[in-house]
Amino acid sequence: MTGDSVPARTTTRGTASGKLRTWARSVLTGEWTEDTVLDVVVVLEELANHVCRGGRPAQVRLSYRTGNRLRIEVDDERAVPRSLGSDIGALLVRHLARDSGVRRWRRGVTFWADVALVASRVPGALPGGVVLGPFEPGARSPN
């Protein structure tokens, strides 16, 4: 069972990164352990920062996957996309994610990572299809 993807838009580092972090925490806190939420936030920020280094906006999606995983996807629409590389951010992604990779498409690539979900309490079922957003950089936090 694959849940619905939730698109989100961020711009560059700094304020948008803080808003992206706040948004991710707001849609995940309560259902998942604090360690799980922290892993998702770190992986999400590292993938988004990798794409946004050139000042380009990044399209971000979160979706529930089978096997208690959350898929994080960040699109990079550069004419010549670069690989994730081996800097500290890439190492964090590879360490925290169960799996990660790059998917090529017509106008760029999508960097993706699957993070294991550990419930803070035993859920009746994984919330597949539950809407997790959307993230809007200019919007106020729901908290």
Question: pLDDT (tens digit, 9 = 90+) per residue, 27-72?
Answer: 887 778 889 999 999 999 898 888 877 656 667 888 888 888 999 9
The whole-number pLDDT of residue 7 equals: 45
Cα separations (Å) of 135 from 6, 21, 34, 132? Answer: 8, 10, 20, 9
The fraction of the chain above a pLDDT of 70, given in percent, is 66
| 3 or 79: which leads in pLDDT | 79
Say what the pLDDT of residue 33 is. Answer: 87
Question: Cα separation of 119 and 129, whole Å?
Answer: 17
Asked if residue 1 has pLDDT above 90, the reply is no
Cβ contact 64:127 at 8 Å: yes
Reported as a pLDDT band with limits 50, 70 and 90, residue 26 is confident
Per-residue pLDDT at 118 exceeds 80:
yes
Q: Which domains does the chain have, with CATH numbers?
A: 6-116 (3.30.565.10)
Q: What's residue 110's pLDDT?
A: 86
Measure the CA–CA gap between 57 and 2, rounded to whole angstroms.
Answer: 26
Query: How big is the CA angle at 86 (ends 27 and 136), to the nearest 5 degrees?
Result: 25
